Amino acid sequence: MLRSVWICAALLFVGGIGADIARAGASTAVRVSTAPTGFWEHWGDGKAEIDRYRIVQPRYGEARDGEAVWIFVTEDFTAKTNVKSDGGHGDEFPVLKLNDIRSFQTGLYAYSTMTSTFSRLDGGSALGVPVKVSLSVQEWCGHVYEQWAVEKGTLDRIGHSYFDAEADFSEQIRLPKRAIFADALPVLVRGLTGDLVAPGGAIDVQLLPRGIDKRLGYVPELDWLNATVKRSASKQVVEVPAGAFETYRTTVEVDGAMWMAFEVEVAAPQRVIAWETASGERGELMATRRSAYWRESKAADEPLWEAMSPSN
């Protein structure tokens, strides 16, 4: 795994968070997306963290019960094609991948979604700006794929869809200073690529809603929102199916109101214990497993998934 920190390249990066956004409790230095102290001692073992959540997912004006699985794992990317490297390219850099996989029922038929967010660990981009985000949605009418990639300070978005009005499209979206991708928030609030905001602090950001926010109708367009990210100074105990945890709360506010909030475990590895959004979405941790899951693909391994049920 590559672990070098390219600070010079990071300081030349134009988009993302700069010193002009720092407020109470936030550093005034230019912050880049990099592995914090002690990161590789935990995440460099070749294993993934698998978090299973009970969720409520609003769709078509009703709250739907479902499940989500969040998978956090490190990989090497190749800069030429912006995908996972098989090795030998000479332009690899380390990323932290978050796969957010959801399933929920809408009446007779089911939805399945997956969002993959790739955050650099070498200082090569600004904190809160992933190198790539992709979204796929499958439901009985058809399926959709969208991708956002950051290239030289520009956000390139492409999409392919079953639906006529959006069948194939591509566009460039401005990448402002102070940019934060909401899809990266589960990584950011854990401090896995650097501290976003200190306890008791707040920062103003330009927030890009999640791809799923647009797809499920929570926002009309994918455009930047003026937002404030706050972290609580105090701790509290939160009870979820996985147990009781001491947490701190990180809240994203838009127009002075809660837009999204996370309860984050105080103790290492600082998992997201629960979250909620203004749209009515909620998630609560049911179980966690740390393993090289891609090697656990035999029929004999299926009880490992059942063991992650809160009833076991």
Whether 1 maps to a domain, the answer reads: no
Q: Using CA atoms, how far apart are residues 312 and 308, in angstroms rounded to an integer?
A: 7
Whether 54 maps to a domain, the answer reads: yes
Domain that holds residue 296: 7-306
**How does 196-209 read in b/e, with b if 16+ C-beta sit within 10 Å?**
bbeeebbbbbbbbb
Residues ≥6 apart with Cβ < 8 Å to 212:
102, 113, 115, 135, 137, 218
Whether 35 maps to a domain, the answer reads: yes
Whether 113 maps to a domain, the answer reads: yes
The pLDDT, as a whole number, for residue 30 is 55
Whether 311 maps to a domain, the answer reads: no
Whether 161 maps to a domain, the answer reads: yes
Whether 2 maps to a domain, the answer reads: no
Cβ atoms 33, 120 nearer than 8 A: yes
User: What does each C-alpha distance from 15 to 36, 54, 116, 144, 190 come to in angstroms?
Assistant: 21, 35, 21, 28, 22
Residues ≥6 apart with Cβ < 8 Å to 74:
1, 43, 44, 94, 95, 96, 97, 121
Specify the number of domains making up the chain: 1
Q: Which of 167, 169, 166, 124 is nearest to 148 (CA)?
A: 169
Quickly list DSSP for 18-57.
-GGG--TTS-SS--EEEPPTTHHHHHTTS-EEEEEEEEEE
* Angular region, 133: left φ>0, alpha ψ -120 to 50, beta rest: beta
**What does the pLDDT profile of the chain (312 residues) look like in tens digits?**
444 333 333 333 334 433 333 333 444 455 899 999 999 999 999 999 999 999 999 999 999 999 999 999 999 999 999 999 998 899 999 999 999 999 999 999 999 999 999 999 999 999 999 999 999 999 999 999 999 999 877 899 999 999 988 899 999 988 998 999 999 999 999 999 999 999 999 999 999 999 999 999 999 988 999 999 999 999 999 999 999 999 999 999 999 999 999 999 999 999 999 999 999 999 999 999 999 999 999 999 999 999 998 765
Whether 312 maps to a domain, the answer reads: no
Q: Using CA atoms, how far apart are residues 236 and 212, in angstroms rounded to an integer?
A: 29
The pLDDT, as a whole number, for residue 153 is 79
Helix (H) and strand (E) counts for the chain? 5, 19
The pLDDT, as a whole number, for residue 309 is 82
